[in-house]
Chain A
Amino acid sequence: MEKPLYSLTALFSTPDALMHAVEATVKAGYTKYDVHSPYPVHGMERAMRLKTSPLGYFALAFGLLGAVSAVGFMTWVTLIDYPLVIGGKPFWSWPAFVPIAFEITVLLASVLTVVAMFVIFFKFPNNSHPLHDTPYMKRVSSDGFGISIQREDPLFDEAGVRQFLASVEGTDIAPVYFEEDPADHGQKLFDLRFVGLLAGVAIVVAGTTYFSLNSLMYVQPFSWMMEQAKQKPQAPSLLFKDGIGMRPPVQGSVARGFLPYAFKGRPEDAGKMLANPLLPTAAVLDRGRSSYLTFCSPCHGNFGRGDSRLAGQFPNPPTLHSEKVRNWPDGSLYHVITEGQNVMPSYAAQITRDNRWAVVHYIRVLQRAHFAKESDLK
């Protein structure tokens, strides 16, 4: 089968001869032609009647895109997503955004313009164009100047074009054929098979990496400070003879906030000698209330009336509003919470010293509220 014709080509020895030939080509009315030279020849765009390249508008659009998105992003971050005061400046410190906005503008404008030129304007990459690997191409890529008039030109007829090229002193006039199907010589970048190949490569590489790093060999590239030369609680240690990492405190050491209780088994003395060290401020009463509701209310009830839901299952817890309790000094209440009394256990382990005193204050509040006088309401 005869290969389909793509174009007729002719070579010229000097840029001047090429320029004349191009002017004649335009004059003759050919439109589907191309001019090839190893470097841009000055004035060729005028001779070929090419319109000014619109790439400048592309660059403007990409640059504006970069500027707007950079400023917009920084504005969103500093005003909406995570406002932070930095150096006492306003949140929207626009002068400080100028350098990054400028860099992003330049970045997008230059990279995208080049990509647009190659991919959209030139339909590159395309290595299957019929002109590739022809003797003609080998000449024009080094020192030749050439014109190629394509068959799809409406005025094309092989003999006529041959004659025309000879008349403008073209040499080496030669036909260029399509390698295969003419429909199959365009840009292949978005070809389904190519995109599929890329996707396949991505999946295989990602999968192999994942498998080999996670299953084949366990690699922990960086331990993020999780591995540290320190003794952790409850962990053994080779440093000590008994192999235990945690050491008992030195004899007689006292943990912070845990002074031994001086009135063990001496409730009368406690009542006489102890005074509440805290002032009944709102904060102290809040703490007292919180501890009371957590530890005391299950038996004594939320208001100290001894009416909790445990009533009837135990020996009934007593009310805190009895004559006896109301007349106790603060120290006695503290002593009972600390030591326990009858079936009530000690709460020293559950409630810190200060919070026990706060509970005492809160019980006084409950008592006063229970027997509220007219004057209290004023």
Chain B
Amino acid sequence: MDILKKVPVRDQNPKVRATNFDEVCLGYNMDEAVEEAQRCMECKNPQCVKGCPVAVDIPNFIGALKKSNIAEAYNVITQSSALPAVCGRVCPQESQCEGKCIRGIKGEPVSIGKLERFVADYALENDFKPKKPNEKIDKKVAVIGSGPAGLTCAGDLARLGYDVTVFEALHKYGGVLVYGIPEFRLPKEKVVQKEIEKVAEMGVKFEKNVIVGKSVTIQQLMDNEKFVAIFIGSGAGLPKFMNIPGENANGVFSANEYLTRNNLMKAFDENYDTPIIIGKNVVVVGGGNVAMDAARTALRLGSNVNIVYRRGEKELPARVEEVHHAKEEGVQFDLLRNPKRIITNENGDVCGIEVIKMDLGEPDESGRRSPIEVIGSEYEIKADVVIMALGTSPNPLISSTTEGLDLDRRKCIVTTDEFGQTTKVGVFAGGDAVTGAATVILAMGAGKAAAEGIHKFLSE
């Protein structure tokens, strides 16, 4: 074994997986996991923990794993993370825990994400039970949204003994974990569903098809249904468009729509009624995780796929692993290109997209070099489906129906302390609804902090 290198993880063959929706990364088995664990030096002053937004006690869980004590490893992880099987799969480890690992200075960092995933999957398969609440507290708390922020907050509050109900607008629980991130990256039945069941086992009640702000307001939940505290984890679900000509043509989708049809409503499965347009040539606009997911979904449905992104390869905001997987599977990248207009035929269907070449100029306030158009460099790419993956912002359904809940300029909910207290007494918020589109682990961290805040508020 080369101590400088990660124990390689088994993936599905790129040629095969480009035609199915099964999970790409097969994960470690027990032997591989224990072998990889040996690479961790169980540092006294572990840098990796500083890179993790929820400070998972990494050396301790890996230490237990070295001794094949999975129950203990699981116990250590779940003190900080409520959804480890999810985080192990979707965290941008290269810029978080693994990015700080000492091993990474000379060689490859310890494969923390894959180890976390192994422990969590083992726990799910062997049905390890989460700790039940000690004693019941007779106070009702409402959690709005069943994404990672809401699930974490609900789980933590239930563990403290509160009577918690999660309200979800859609007909399935999990937020972006079910409607956004595809099956081949995050299995729904095997992982997401199981993690949600764990939260339910803790005594959390779930009610779906409730759109807070429409089916019931925050004030009504407090006044009529006697919820004494509320957590808003409603995410940032509103898709952005570019406002270029042709954008409302047939065949132009937001990534949200494309992914929802496929993930939440299983358009890829012929037994479901949902229709989806399978393009011959699909162009995906954007360079984040969402763009990669849309591109790789289209590829699996049988399309040729080009990603159009206005900056260069280095600037792609997606996880490194996703970009790598997308390339392996055959997604083409048209970098330093920006769409100018969408070209349609007489039926209003998309038949192409006009793009312009870009150069990178001076760094902007985000520190990234800003793209500038190369005058006269427009050309056309053939396409019958265009998917816009340009980012999302919070939905105003709740804020517009709740008096006293302040928003910032970007329409995000304002919080006044590190516990997610909003400008309305008894109402807390966290996750994408507060930060704008971010990551699973940050949303979980916020859910956790808010549970603590709510507990303090209700103990006063």
Instruction: Note whether A and B form a binding pair.
Output: no
